[in-house]
Amino acid sequence: MSELKQELKEKIIEQLNLEDVSVDEIANDDPLFGEGLGLDSIDALELIVMLDKDYGIRLADPKEGRKIFESIDTMAAYIAANRTN
């Protein structure tokens, strides 16, 4: 699981162009939206695409993303339980 969390941090920084953020600066329980990393609605869509492209997970309802994308912890747990590739 810790490898997956590390992978997610690297993917998020690269795919969301978080230029001034390093992997070490993202705690596993940091909120990804709002006061945490400050991601926005377009970032949320990018994360949904990332789940599909990299882990074979298609969200039927984008609103599901709210809980899944709360933090690296919640993302990793959801991916580990639902990934198809």
Partner 1 sequence: MSSPEYYIKSYCLIRDGKVSKNGEILFSDDSEEFPAFIKSAYKHFETDYSKFFKMDNLSKLAFMGAEVLLCENEEQNTALVLSNRASSLDTDRKHQAAISKESGAFASPAVFVYTLPNICMGEISIRHKLYSENSFFIFAEFNPYLLSDYANDLLISGKANEVLCGWVDYDKGKYDAFLYVIAKKGMLPHNTGELTKLYRTK
Tokens of 33: 């939206």
Total interface residues for partner 1 by CB under 8 A: 13
Q: Which is nearer to partner 1, 1 or 25 (CB)?
A: 25
Contact 69, 44 (CB under 8 A): yes
In the shown chain, the binding pattern of residues 5 to 44 toward partner 1, with x for contact by CB under 8 A and - for none, equals -----------xxxxx-----------------x---xx-
Task: Report phi then psi at 83, rounded to 5.
Answer: -65, 145
Site residues (CB under 8 A) for partner 1, limited to 50-69: 52-53
Yes or no: say if 28 and 71 are a contact pair by the CB < 8 Å rule: yes
* Stretch in the footprint of partner 1 (CB under 8 A) among 1-9, 47-55, 61-69, 73-81: 47-55
DSSP alpha helix (H) spans, the chain: 2-15, 41-55, 65-68, 72-82
What are the residues binding partner 1 (CB under 8 A)? 16-20, 38, 42-43, 45-46, 49, 52-53
